[in-house]
Amino acid sequence: MAITVDPEPVWDQPNDVPEKWIETVDENVASKLPAGSQVKGIVPCGASYWTRTAEIFTEQADGTQKSFFLKARHIGTST
């Protein structure tokens, strides 16, 4: 079975979640990563209608690389 992709976007509205929420890894998020994790970077990843999504790149205590994924949702009126 062939997979087809609709070339027309389903959602043509801007995402109202400010990008600033995925430009850095908040200390509260970092505290939930495995012990010894060092954050190496964060980049936008994927798409969502009501959240911003990001991939967090880390180096673990044993030197291995591991990614984590984050969804940030904006609640309220302040930006």
Q: For the segment 29-79, what is each residue's pLDDT rounded down to a tens digit? A: 999 999 999 999 999 998 788 889 999 999 999 999 999 999 998 776 655
pLDDT of residue 8: 66
Q: What is the pLDDT of residue 18?
A: 86
Nearest of 79, 38, 78, 36 to residue 58 by alpha carbon = 38
One-letter identity of residue 9: P
Residue range 18-26: mean pLDDT, rounded: 90
DSSP line for 13-42: SPP-S-GGGGTS--HHHHTTSPTT-EEEEE
pLDDT at 10: 61
Q: Report pLDDT for 2.
A: 65
